Amino acid sequence: MKALFIAFDQAYYEHIVELLPQLGSRGFTAWQEVQGRGSKTGEPHYGTHAWPSLASAMMAMVEDDHVDSILQHLHEMDLATPKLGLRAWVLPVERTI
């Protein structure tokens, strides 16, 4: 099992929520309004007058055999609209209760 942490422009939220169960991952925890800026490219998401957009973040516990498919779909979304910003990280899950 892996933890998939996704940070993205709020415009992606509904699409990602619909995408995950289609690719075998039903559960997630989301943070609706987060601020940030990408380390390489993309516009800041500060929710201010100068930078009005905000980001969201999500964490989903994903079976190992679903990770690559989810990452591929997320990457395709990011390539289609690179100015919005979308990043995902895969972390190991050592134990659950």
Cβ atoms of 85 and 40 within 8 Å: the answer is no
Is residue 6 pLDDT above 90, yes or no?
yes
Q: How many other C-beta atoms lie within 10 A of the C-beta of residue 86?
A: 22
Question: For residue range 56-82, what is the model confidence (pLDDT) as tens digits?
Answer: 999 999 999 999 999 999 999 999 998
Q: Report yes or no on 16 lying in a domain.
A: yes
Q: Would you state the pLDDT for residue 47?
A: 83
Q: Would you state the pLDDT for residue 32?
A: 92
Q: Would you state the pLDDT for residue 72?
A: 98
Q: Report yes or no on 59 lying in a domain.
A: yes
Q: What are the beta bridge partners of residue 8?
A: 56, 86
Domain containing residue 80? 2-92
Looking at the structure of the chain, the number of domains it has is 1
Q: Report yes or no on 75 lying in a domain.
A: yes
Report, as an integer, the average pLDDT of 31-39.
87
Q: Report yes or no on 97 lying in a domain.
A: no
Give pTM, 2 decimals: 0.90
Q: Report yes or no on 32 lying in a domain.
A: yes
What's the CATH code of the domain at 77?
3.30.70.120
**Could you tell me the pLDDT band of residue 43, with boundaries at 50, 70 and 90?**
confident
